[in-house]
Structure 1
Amino acid sequence: MFVNCAFDAQYQPLFYGIVFTIVRSGFRARCALEADDALESRFIKIQSIIGECRYSIHDISRTELDGVPPLPRFNMPLELGVFIGAKRYGGAPHADKRALILDTVPYRYQRFISDIAGQDIQYHNGNVVDAITKTASWLRNKSRRTTVPGGAAISAEYELFQADLPNILNGLGLQEHEVTFSDYLTLIESFITE
């Protein structure tokens, strides 16, 4: 499952909650952070991941102005467009692609990406529990897997995981800022297995 969202420190709790939900639900989370190869274009890597994933989650909530002059970052809408294009023009191998689109509040996206007004957009209000719940419900509905727990159950497990994470990292000799995306996936898988 392709995860298309911001990777900055402010968004990290939502990102980690969504990734935990994906792994806990029995799916493999994929994103641009999974491989760090300076010889490979990030956008080409993203296109490759999109080509390999049936499901995706696109959080288009991070459109704040930044820098001088102040401009928004539109990487997430761009990657959403690539995923939509793959479904539309990718032929039979991509016809079954499904996507969850998240934003913070209802209809805000219409101010900066109005062409997707016909899509079903879900809202998390910047809240991790809401993001987990929306993700779990969507995964259960689209995959039709009865093994995907409800959002409340996953949120409770995620809270336990987050509380135990400092001890886990300490035991591995890692500090939180040193954890890579691959490390995080392994930590989640180990926690779920135990």
Structure 2
Amino acid sequence: MPYENNVFINCPFDKDYNELFLALVFAIQDSGFSPRCALESSGTEANRLMKIADIIKECRLGVHDISRVELSDGNNLPRFNMPFECGLFWGCMLYADGSYRNKRLLVLDSMEHRYRATLSDISGQDISVHNNSAKLLIERVRTWLSQYSTERLPGGEAIWKHYQEFQENLPKICHSLNITPEELATNAYFGDYVYAVATWLKEKGY
């Protein structure tokens, strides 16, 4: 996959965020870009970190959702994966040589100005807010990606309608793949979901 077209996704991979994640992946693909994320990796934690670093290296663009600041139910602690991976991407953009300096990133949050308390070092940057709305998230991502596309993109409303149509067609799509809709929505089937979206968009001519 070409570097210029790859978009690194850094976001929560839990059930609460799943609806937003699936919409985000779809919006990236409907905008003509290729989604990449840590769900591609497997193996030990050390190997996983290096795999994430490799994916970041292979992506010119990055979408980073830092909205997950709540304490976890299990240990009453926050998760730092999102700000950590955002920092990795930012560091690569700032300190690497050559084409890596043309990396660009979009930072998302669910609430306006909350990042000033949770990640104050990025104050002054343009942070996009999605209010935990899949439709608004699609609009935000599409608007940002339009700066880096060589083609004219469909509007946010059009992509949202495409996504709704895709969801309505899921039973038929999944039947052709011999995968259930429930399976396709899980993290383990990320590659299958990307394939399903790409195939459907091509068939529809979107």
TM range (shorter): over 0.9
Counterpart in the other structure of 1:183: 192
CA distance in 2, matches of 1:185, 1:48: 19
> Does the alignment pair 1:84 with 2:93?
no
> Does the alignment pair 1:54 with 2:60?
yes
TM-superposed CA distance for 1:38, in Å, is 4.7
Matched-pair contact (CA < 8 Å) for 2:41–2:52: no
One of 162, 185, 194 as aligned partner of 1:157: 162
TM-score by length of 2: 0.88
Deviation by residue 1:21-43 (Cα, 9 ceiling, x = unmatched): 11111111100112434586221
Counterpart in the other structure of 2:3: none
One of 6, 18, 37 as aligned partner of 1:12: 18
Quick one: which amino acid aligns to residue 188 of structure 1? Answer: V
Q: Which runs of 5+ in 2 are unaligned?
A: 1-6
TM-score by length of 1: 0.94
TM-superposed CA distance for 1:11, in Å, is 0.4
> Does the alignment pair 1:94 with 2:100?
yes
> Does the alignment pair 1:45 with 2:51?
yes
Q: Which runs of 5+ in 1 are unaligned?
A: none
Q: Name the SS of the counterpart of 2:13 in structure 1.
A: coil
Counterpart in the other structure of 1:168: 173
Q: Name the SS of the counterpart of 2:35 in structure 1.
A: coil
TM-superposed CA distance for 1:178, in Å, is 2.6
Deviation by residue 1:137-167 (Cα, 9 ceiling, x = unmatched): 00002x0433321111100000000111122
Quick one: which amino acid aligns to residue 82 of structure 2? Answer: M
Quick one: which amino acid aligns to residue 199 of structure 2? Answer: S
Q: Name the SS of the counterpart of 1:29 in structure 2.
A: strand
Aligned Cα root-mean-square deviation (Å) = 1.5
TM-superposed CA distance for 1:171, in Å, is 3.3
Identity of aligned residues (%): 42
38-47 or 3-12, which moves further after superposition? 38-47
